[in-house]
């Protein structure tokens, strides 16, 4: 039987902060002082527009859930559908406004190497790899190179969007890849399932919730208020990881604020047996 898969989100699950904001800043570094100021003012304006729209869509979508049957999966899918138009519109805006244009690949890699991670996050991934887990990162981040630079010493497969570069090594402003929503993450997780072996997924945001429920074991990291509100309104039960409540009931996730606690769970708790998967010599 195949080895277990440990799959994690990147921004704010592994990292302390969201790293997508680094990309427009790197693009601005290539501009003159006057152009840079105007560029960053436009970025700040459009970012405020996006977050204002996001909050409104989120509030309206939560209110609409009360009219749906009390099914966590169905309510969660309805919540994600509410964001699809906004996400498409925001990606189009980022590309059209050139917020990702002109970034030098070498600057991008240096920035990725300086990203701060949660305490014990990288150590947990390394320990899991040594214990035989296959490591994956699923991210809606716009740069695979940025993620890879932060994880370059780890044996991890990365699925994310990525910048397009020209022959000189500068980004054109275009994006490639189609990982933009919670539905996309769930589909990627289903594709991973075809590789065999049980799957444990770790994420922190609303975008991760469908993948968390799809995995054999889903661990919700942190206490992001929007994610907790979504869980409460969708009827997703949150059970403390330290209590080891396996097997999980349908529509439930484990919760923790500690990568050290996750590491202990991965290495000491026979969770693969407790979700109905037989242990094997290569696991």
Over residues 24-53, the mean pLDDT reads 96
Residue 218 lies in a domain: yes
pTM value?
0.94
Does the CA dihedral 105-106-107-112 come out positive or negative? positive
The pLDDT assigned to 191 comes to: 95
Over residues 85-111, the mean pLDDT reads 96
Contact status, residue 211 vs residue 203, Cβ threshold 8 Å: yes
> Rounded to whole angstroms, how far apart are CA atoms 112 and 145?
8
> Which range marks the domain in which residue 196 is found?
5-274
The pLDDT assigned to 275 comes to: 59
Number of structural domains the chain divides into: 1
Tell me how many degrees the CA angle 226-227-232 measures, rounded to the nearest 5. 100
- The yes-or-no verdict on residue 28 having pLDDT over 80 is yes
DSSP secondary structure code for residue 248 in this structure: P
For 205-244, how does the pLDDT look when each residue is reduced to its tens digit (9 = 90+)?
999 999 999 999 999 999 999 999 999 999 999 999 998 8
CATH of the domain at 96: 3.40.50.1000
For 145-187, how does the pLDDT look when each residue is reduced to its tens digit (9 = 90+)?
999 999 999 999 999 999 999 999 999 999 999 899 999 999 9
For 119-156, how does the pLDDT look when each residue is reduced to its tens digit (9 = 90+)?
999 999 999 999 999 999 999 999 999 999 999 999 99
Q: Directed axis angle between helix 259-268 and helix 121-130, to 10°?
A: 10
Tell me how many degrees the CA angle 74-79-85 measures, rounded to the nearest 5. 130
The pLDDT assigned to 43 comes to: 97
The pLDDT assigned to 2 comes to: 73
Residue 146 lies in a domain: yes
Residue 245 lies in a domain: yes
- Strand ordering across the sheet containing 134-138: 156-159, 134-138, 5-8, 199-203, 217-221, 252-256, 237-240
Residue 41 lies in a domain: yes
Residue 282 lies in a domain: no
- The yes-or-no verdict on residue 67 having pLDDT over 60 is yes
Q: Directed axis angle between helix 225-234 and helix 72-96, to 10°?
A: 140
46-76: burial string, b at 16+ Cβ within 10 Å, e else: beeebeeebeebbeebbeebeeeeeebbebb
For 1-17, how does the pLDDT look when each residue is reduced to its tens digit (9 = 90+)?
578 999 999 999 999 99
Residue 265 lies in a domain: yes
- The yes-or-no verdict on residue 283 having pLDDT over 50 is no
- The yes-or-no verdict on residue 280 having pLDDT over 60 is no
Residue 73 lies in a domain: yes
Over residues 89-108, the mean pLDDT reads 96
- The yes-or-no verdict on residue 271 having pLDDT over 70 is no
Residue 281 lies in a domain: no
The pLDDT assigned to 278 comes to: 44
Cis peptide bond N-terminal to 247, omega within 30: yes
């Amino acid at each position: 039987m195949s080895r277990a898969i440990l799959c994690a989100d990147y921004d704010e699950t592994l990292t302390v902060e969201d790293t997508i904001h680094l990309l427009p800043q790197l693009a601005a570094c290539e501009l003159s002082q006057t152009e840079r100021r105007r560029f960053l003012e436009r970025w700040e304006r459009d970012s405020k527009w996006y977050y204002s729209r996001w909050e409104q869509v989120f509030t309206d979508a939560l209110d609409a859930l009360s009219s749906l049957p009390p099914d966590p999966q169905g309510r969660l899918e309805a919540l994600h559908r509410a964001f699809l138009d906004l996400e498409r519109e925001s990606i189009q805006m980022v590309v059209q406004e050139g917020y990702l244009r002109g970034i030098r690949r070498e600057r991008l890699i240096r920035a990725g190497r300086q990203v701060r991670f949660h305490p014990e996050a990288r150590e947990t991934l390394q320990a899991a790899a040594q214990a035989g887990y296959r490591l994956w990162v699923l991210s809606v981040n716009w740069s695979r190179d940025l993620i890879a630079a932060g994880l370059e010493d780890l044996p991890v497969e990365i699925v994310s969007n990525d910048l397009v570069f020209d022959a000189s090594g500068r980004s054109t402003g275009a994006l490639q890849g189609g990982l933009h929503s919670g539905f996309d993450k769930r589909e990627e997780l289903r594709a991973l399932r075809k590789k065999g072996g049980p799957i444990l997924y770790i994420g922190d945001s609303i975008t991760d919730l469908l993948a968390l429920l799809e995995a054999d074991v889903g661990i919700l990291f942190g206490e992001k208020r929007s994610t907790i509100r979504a869980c409460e309104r969708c009827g997703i039960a949150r059970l403390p990881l330290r209590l080891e409540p396996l097997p999980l009931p349908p529509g439930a996730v484990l919760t923790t604020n500690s990568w050290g606690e996750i590491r202990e769970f991965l290495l000491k708790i026979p969770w693969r047996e407790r979700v109905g998967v037989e242990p094997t010599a290569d696991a």
